[in-house]
A and B are shown apart, each in its own frame.
Chain A
Amino acid sequence: AQKITQTQPGMFVQEKEAVTLDCTYDTSDQSYGLFWYKQPSSGEMIFLIYQGSYDEQNATEGRYSLNFQKARKSANLVISASQLGDSAMYFCAMREGPNGGFKTIFGAGTRLFVKA
């Protein structure tokens, strides 16, 4: 069965430093997509970045990058130059292809605290 694991319940980072949020996944499908979402205290989920299973390059979106290691089934999110506004919950998610019904499952999340 597909599964997403985020082992860090909480993380602290100093403002302007980089931080890595861990995510491992388990799937038997060859075609899948990996996503990261941010959930501020307001509750609304915000899509940050996507990595396809066949992508050869690691995804980047502004200060967000994804360290994708397919053989290890890991998709860690790297946030560079942390800002106070980055304090939020971060969720890793996976969408499988046709065999998984195109459903998306989410990890339990990591709460990030950015210190001034």
Chain B
Amino acid sequence: DGGITQSPKYLFRKEGQNVTLSCEQNLNHDAMYWYRQDPGQGLRLIYYSQIVNDFQKGDIAEGYSVSREKKESFPLTVTSAQKNPTAFYLCASRPLMGQGRVGYTFGSGTRLTVV
């Protein structure tokens, strides 16, 4: 079955450490997105990419970095510059051409905790 796979499901980060969250999709979707969700809040956009080797900052990009070397993959690195990284991270994708009415397909999320 097609879908989005996020790994790991749980991740613990020490102070000053960089960590990378994986997001892989086999839906042949063009666009991929990273959102952050804090308790009791909605989703905030971190980064997004509509084509390979290109990506744009979202509303809260500081302290994060991404790459899009393959259509299927959009990993997110949480750097030591992100001062409050504890949150639930969701990866999403969607097709672009002629699919404006289609919502995102989401992964099952990664819960990141600073220890």
Contacts and interface: CB of A to CB of B under 8 A. Distances in A.
Contacts, number: 57
B16 to A, nearest CB: 27
A37 interface: yes
Interface string A33-75: 1010100001111111010100000000000000000000000
Main secondary structure of the interface of B (DSSP, over half): strand
Contacts of B35: 106
A101 B50 CA distance: 11
A108 interface: yes
Instruction: Classify chain A: how many residues form its interface, as a range.
Output: 20 to 34
A109 B111 CA distance: 19
Contact of B108 (A33, A44, A47, A93): A44
A52 B106 contact: no
A33 B100 contact: yes
A104 B46 CA distance: 11
B7 to A, nearest CB: 14
A104 to B, nearest CB: 7
Instruction: Classify chain B: how many residues form its interface, as a range.
Output: 20 to 34
B41 A108 contact: yes
Interface of B: 31, 33, 35, 40-45, 48, 50, 56, 58, 88, 90, 92, 100-109, 111
Given A46-B106, A106-B35, 13 more contacts: A4-B42, A37-B103, A42-B108, A44-B106, A47-B102, A47-B103, A50-B101, A50-B103, A52-B100, A91-B42, A102-B50, A104-B45, A106-B42
Interface of A: 4, 9, 33, 35, 37, 42-48, 50, 52, 91, 93, 101-109
28 contacts: A9-B40, A33-B100, A37-B103, A37-B104, A43-B88, A43-B90, A43-B108, A43-B111, A44-B106, A45-B90, A45-B104, A45-B106, A47-B102, A47-B104, A50-B101, A50-B103, A52-B100, A52-B101, A103-B48, A104-B45, A105-B45, A106-B42, A106-B43, A106-B44, A107-B42, A108-B40, A108-B41, A109-B41
